[in-house]
Chain A
């Protein structure tokens, strides 16, 4: 495991920084590098994308952390990748062509946080209705709605 991390550090230099969080390894990755980092890690045996989601830090700039959880089949360990994104229209390159699992996960992330995944084959809402306004998991999105309920039957 450590060898892979060293290799990762060597290959990407200061665009990747590795740290420990409790008992798990976390790698902070520059937004532009995520596709090459994930492709590299996949070739090193991280065969599974376990999860992809985001955290909204609201007052921080860049505002969002996109969180990738990978799993190594031989070392039997998880690795977390964090990518910081921000700006008016937060954007990350899509990794749906590297891991098929990322397709829906990125759609959910877009739906819930409004983070756009560049190069995603079909980036549209997945859990909320298509005409929904706003992105529910953002911290500035209210917990209870003030608008009247949508009509039961749509025209």
Chain B
């Protein structure tokens, strides 16, 4: 995080560029991102994102947590869509264990992953519109997001850090009355989606600020390891839900939203289309939701329920084992990835056969996406930096971990 020399001295005038800090405490950096900018007037000559202000040592903390406790930390990385982070982690551990969860559980996981994708995109849309000076989308977006958080609360008990997915299953089955509430949300949301389009699609300020701003070509984006909607706005349809399906995504019929231009506006259109596709997936998940078990029936992997503990000695022992030394995961290493709202969330987990993971490496999409920021804003105006940061959709909890 050293303050290196930024920008070159103009050889003719001998003048140094002016270096300013955008952030770390600045509402438009969407967290504690600090961007050092060398300015010539209002034009950007050099840009250097500086991270680390939200580093909480999550990967280090995994050394002292059992596999099930580790789920809690996944919530705290991408805090706008904790459910998808949960999913990547439990899939990696299940891969090491060699178990497959029942289909009902897989469908519920898909349902919640898509709900939280919408929630995350809504926060992105609201805040980026606010960055551009449009205040009303923020309220309309957050209001709808609130309904999704209510649904998550109904199932998991908490709004922001649900830890709803557990290794080998879920925390609970869907609560009674959940489907009616979900249906109510699904009935109301499409009208709001149209409203977002109506507010922004023909808004001249929105179009002027976004079109042609922050352009990245497909080659550059791949080179920087971009993933998710940001990459798909540059002309590829790389979506892990289609390309490397997990949690029975192969059963669902949906399209991958793409755009060609690679500018901020393209990323906007891709995310809005993705919300529509997510709605489609949720509707299919409701329609085809299988009956039956929602967790694996194996006490070594999924702890016995409370009623059994009271009646059955063996259940009590397994319960005790689970919450003291943790479940035993075979020796091995694996990489599992899911398509989060921001891109590929990957977990590289090494197990040494004990109750705690030997190493958990989290591949946060925001970490790789924000790295290309200097490319997006080179020689542009200062105000475009704000648009560019918003369009990458970063969450600093995930960048710094």
Chain A residues 84-137 with CB under 8 Å of chain B are 99-101, 103-105, 112, 122, 124-130, 136-137
Q: Is the CB of B223 within 8 A of A50?
A: no
| Chain A: number of interface residues, binned into ranges | 35 or more
- B59 close to A (CB within 8 Å): yes
CB of A47 within 8 Å of the partner chain:
yes
**Among B30-38, B49-57, B252-260, which stretch is in contact with chain A?**
B49-57
Q: Contact between B371 and A103 (Cβ–Cβ < 8 Å)?
A: yes
Given B236, B238, B368, which contacts A101 in the complex, CB threshold below 8 Å?
B368
A124 and B59 CA atoms in complex are apart in Å by: 20
B222 interfacial by beta-carbon distance below 8 Å = yes
Tell me if A51 is interfacial: C-beta within 8 Å of chain B. Answer: yes
Query: Is B15's CB within 8 Å of the partner chain A?
Result: no
Residues from chain A with a CB closer than 8 A to the CB of B337 are 50, 78
B358 at the interface (CB under 8 A from A): yes
Q: Quick check: A22 and B2 within 8 Å, CB to CB?
A: no
Contact pattern, A 20-44, Cβ under 8 Å of B = 1, otherwise 0 = 0111100000000000000000000
Are B96 and A22 interface neighbours, CB within 8 A?
yes
A4 within 8 A of B: no
Q: Is B361 an interface residue (CB 8 A)?
A: yes
**A143 interface hit (Cβ, 8 Å):** yes
Interface of B is mostly: mixed
Which of B346, B368, B401: most chain A Cβ within 10 A? B368
B225 touching A53, Cβ below 8 Å: no
Q: List the B residue with the shortest CB-CB distance to A141.
A: B60
Q: Count B interface residues, CB 8 Å.
A: 43
A124 to B2, Cβ gap below 8 A? Answer: yes
In the assembled complex, the CB of A132 is this many whole angstroms from the nearest CB of chain B, namely 10
Residue A8 at the chain B interface, CB threshold 8 Å: no
Q: Is the CB of A130 within 8 A of B2?
A: yes
- Asked if B2 contacts A128 (CB within 8 A), the reply is no
B334→A48 contact, CB < 8 A: no
How close is A43's CB to chain B, nearest CB, in angstroms? 14
Residue B363 at the A interface, CB < 8 A? yes
Known: A100-B224, A137-B59. A69 touches B244 (CB 8 A): no
Which residues of A lie under 8 Å from residue B60 when comparing CB positions?
A: 136-137, 141, 143
Contact across chains for A22 and B334 when beta carbons are under 8 A apart = yes
Say how far B116's CB is from chain A's closest CB, in angstroms: 22
Shortest Cβ distance from A21 into B: residue: B333
Q: Kindly list chain B residues whose C-beta atoms are within 8 Å of the C-beta of A103.
A: 371
Cβ-defined partner of A53 (8 Å) among B51, B222, B332, B361: B361
A49 at the interface (CB under 8 A from B): yes
What residues of B have a CB within 8 angstroms of the CB of A80 in the complex? 335
In the complex, the answer to whether A73 meets B238 with C-beta atoms within 8 Å is: yes
Q: Please judge, given known A-B contacts A50-B344, A126-B51, whether A101 and B223 are in contact too, CB under 8 Å.
A: yes
B371:A126 contact, CB within 8 angstroms: no
Other 20 A-B pairs with CB < 8 A, given A50-B346, A128-B55: A21-B334, A22-B96, A50-B227, A51-B335, A51-B363, A56-B359, A99-B225, A100-B371, A100-B372, A101-B224, A112-B59, A122-B4, A124-B2, A126-B51, A127-B55, A129-B1, A129-B52, A130-B1, A137-B60, A139-B63
Q: Ordered nearest first, which 9 A-B pairs have the shortest CB separation? A: A101-B225, A51-B363, A127-B52, A127-B55, A53-B361, A76-B243, A100-B223, A55-B359, A100-B224
Q: List 11 A-B contacts (CB under 8 A).
A: A22-B332, A51-B335, A51-B348, A51-B361, A69-B335, A69-B348, A76-B243, A100-B223, A100-B224, A127-B52, A139-B63
* Chain B residues close to A by CB (< 8 Å): 1-2, 4, 51-52, 55, 57, 59-61, 63-64, 95-96, 220, 222-225, 227, 236, 238, 243-244, 332-335, 337, 344, 346, 348, 350, 358-359, 361, 363, 367-368, 371-372, 400-401
